[in-house]
Structure 1
């Protein structure tokens, strides 16, 4: 009497996925190819097999195979609940993010699935994928295309009154507008997103994203105290979910402390229990900037920017605020250096501050125009002439007032003379 060979299972595939990925791939494909019918357990196994196969290709950094898995899964999706379908496809598309240089493939795959969802009249899935695509386009810095997609999506969502997706899309709209420096629209979009979120249960991670965007917009307005509060809420939200974005929120918290002229608070923040798990290069980079600011040292500041270039320059938010901080430090150093002089060579000032002559000359010119101090640049002699702050002559002000009154009297007499004639 012969016994049939037991069919390979998900557990078998998981056991050999690291040692023999090709064999694991065959097992997973066989599970997917076996008709499940109305068997709930078989359908559940196929769902898991689909995700495991996606993970396998993700770990192998194979975007082409991952895209093919998503395309082939559509037959399986036809027999799955529509809400579950959206979750599975979005999860599979998210796997692209872990593959280097796969952003273009991820966007193309998302667009392809949007077209399929449109053809199948799966409205919920299409809206979910279009929301995902908008986020991918923002990451790819294709802001015009992202905003066009968002505009069309918002019109549809407002009619359907789906508050959850509406919150997500308004948040994406705010992000896209802030990336293009359209701050007024970014604030309006965020307000609309928060209004939609207030009428539903907002998941913690979505709330953390809203808080992050609020912090970014307040920081842009130089309201670093309020921005810090939002970044702290974001940090707590991401930390509770063990989300990697908590590190970015922590960096923004440290940035706010530096911009508030409280660099000494950076050390105590870094040593806090919740922040200790995120210690590393990113945090050390912010600590170096804080020390340079505390010492009011342009040399230390430049040294930190060079030493921690990747950690400080890759984030546009940090890069922008540190550029403003550097400008402030340079201005403070220049004011301190020129204070004892009535006339000084620009080259000497540049030497003392450790900056190129041309850059110092440009900065001094800007400071004079902004009335940080009073003076004039003698470019022929290469010197800066510094003046005392001029005192307003009260006689001059009184004379102007008298002339104005005389003018009013003359005008009044002229009007009366015109009426008499």
Structure 2
């Protein structure tokens, strides 16, 4: 295979694009076999095989090649070894910018395979070097990677700080659409965690458009999932249909996670807890793959359960716990535990009668005299002010 490539690259009549395509075909063939050692050998020897190859073109080839590599647990060690060898080679050849770019790709590989601590450890050193060369695009990229890693490690305050740094740099320098889309996606996620779903939706829309513009279908699909999720969480299930009529969403309607979220939106619109629970159980493998969606689905499940309980107990002064459990198709223990929490959170004004296994509801007494109290305090403050001045 290398000999065939050597002949194509040595030819003086073959167009540059054809040579590039031959290189990509050879590298991809090695990747499909899992032979990353041959990938490294081919890239290192590329200059010898292609006499008029420039540094700019080899950098372009390496960047484009790494965008097609499947990052997974099985190939992680091989990809990491490939990057280590290419970093050493680029350093020995004096290609400093290429070396830094490869180091950024190594950080990305660590992030994609869940090595979050290692990701954070390597960001600092590379970032210091990038600042010397004023490489703002890679600096923004590293801030985004660091923010993602810190978020996964539940260090929320630092992850937000890193994202703010990325956003500030993106405003002051050129930022590719796909990178701006990543910033918007993370912004939407962090705002979602604050339960501000309306604002989060606008960020997810921007992320969806940015990824679609950059032809990053997988990332655009994630943005669509989060957009539908934010609409559901904001209790705007009617707007989900409007989202799906958008041209940029048409390619992702067959995605299983999107279909699951659409079924959840229907259940939430009908306040049908049983259907909602069934959808979660049936598609637990899909929901469980995304920690962000899973966390919000659990929160929504609790909120929907509480709303259904309030709806059932509202007409009564005393209601048996097993009656609520039967109406909602839940175990008595689950409902009793939830009622105890709702009473403590003052969502239900009542007490549990453990002898009769029932909930005794009390009349909510409105607070009287609020206006009179305010007037009295204002008068007292006026008196103090007039006495002093």
Q: Which residue of 1 aligns with 2:136?
A: 163
Q: Which residue of 2 aligns with 1:218?
A: 191
- Work out which of the residue numbers 238, 246, 261 in structure 2 matches 1:264: 238
- Work out which of the residue numbers 23, 39, 53 in structure 2 matches 1:69: 39
Do the aligned partners of 1:54 and 1:95 also contact (CA within 8 Å) in 2? no
Q: TM-score, normalised by structure 2?
A: 0.83
1:225-260 CA-to-partner distances (Å, cap 9, x unmatched) read 221111111111222333212222122211111111
Using the alignment, how far apart are the partners of 1:129 and 1:115 within structure 2?
A: 10
Q: Which runs of 4+ in 1 moved over 6 A?
A: 391-394
Unaligned runs of 5+ in 1: 1-25, 399-421
Per the alignment, do residues 54 and 376 of structure 1 end up closer, same or farther by CA in structure 2, a change over 3 Å counting? same
Q: Secondary structure of 1:105's partner?
A: helix
1:97-155 CA-to-partner distances (Å, cap 9, x unmatched) read 17894234323322333343344443212221221122222222211111111122222
Do the aligned partners of 1:93 and 1:110 also contact (CA within 8 Å) in 2? no
Per the alignment, do residues 387 and 114 of structure 1 end up closer, same or farther by CA in structure 2, a change over 3 Å counting? farther
Do the aligned partners of 1:205 and 1:241 also contact (CA within 8 Å) in 2? yes
2:321 aligned with 1:346: yes
Q: Which residue of 2 aligns with 1:241?
A: 214
CA shift for structure 1 position 200: 2.1
Do the aligned partners of 2:83 and 2:106 also contact (CA within 8 Å) in 1? yes
Per the alignment, do residues 321 and 167 of structure 1 end up closer, same or farther by CA in structure 2, a change over 3 Å counting? same
2:254 aligned with 1:283: no
- Between stretches 239-248 and 385-394, larger displacement belongs to 385-394
Q: TM-score, normalised by structure 1?
A: 0.77
| RMSD (Å) for aligned C-alpha atoms | 2.9
Q: Which residue of 2 aligns with 1:323?
A: 298
Q: Which residue of 1 aligns with 2:381?
A: none
1:303-318 mapped onto 2 (5 Å cutoff): 303-318=278-293
1:24-67 CA-to-partner distances (Å, cap 9, x unmatched) read xx3x5333278849x69687765432211122234xx322x244
CA shift for structure 1 position 275: 2.3
Q: Secondary structure of 2:360's partner?
A: strand
Per the alignment, do residues 126 and 332 of structure 1 end up closer, same or farther by CA in structure 2, a change over 3 Å counting? same
1:332-357 CA-to-partner distances (Å, cap 9, x unmatched) read 11112222344433333222222223
Higher relative contact order (CA closer than 8 Å, sequence separation 6+): 2
Do the aligned partners of 1:50 and 1:69 also contact (CA within 8 Å) in 2? no
Do the aligned partners of 1:373 and 1:389 also contact (CA within 8 Å) in 2? no
Paired residues, what number? 365
Q: Which residue of 1 aligns with 2:155?
A: 182
Unaligned runs of 5+ in 2: 374-389
CA shift for structure 1 position 330: 0.6
CA shift for structure 1 position 389: 3.3
Using the alignment, how far apart are the partners of 1:43 and 1:277 within structure 2?
A: 33
- Between stretches 341-350 and 211-220, larger displacement belongs to 341-350
Q: Which residue of 2 aligns with 1:373?
A: 348
Per the alignment, do residues 309 and 40 of structure 1 end up closer, same or farther by CA in structure 2, a change over 3 Å counting? farther
Q: Secondary structure of 2:45's partner?
A: helix
Using the alignment, how far apart are the partners of 1:34 and 1:287 within structure 2?
A: 51
1:353-368 mapped onto 2 (5 Å cutoff): 353-368=328-343
Q: Secondary structure of 1:277's partner?
A: helix
- Work out which of the residue numbers 52, 75, 84 in structure 2 matches 1:111: 84
Using the alignment, how far apart are the partners of 1:82 and 1:377 within structure 2?
A: 76
Q: Which residue of 1 aligns with 2:107?
A: 134
1:256-287 CA-to-partner distances (Å, cap 9, x unmatched) read 11111110111232133332232213332221
- Between stretches 239-248 and 81-90, larger displacement belongs to 81-90
1:391-410 mapped onto 2 (5 Å cutoff): none
Q: Secondary structure of 2:164's partner?
A: helix
Per the alignment, do residues 355 and 136 of structure 1 end up closer, same or farther by CA in structure 2, a change over 3 Å counting? farther
Using the alignment, how far apart are the partners of 2:230 and 2:21 within structure 1?
A: 44
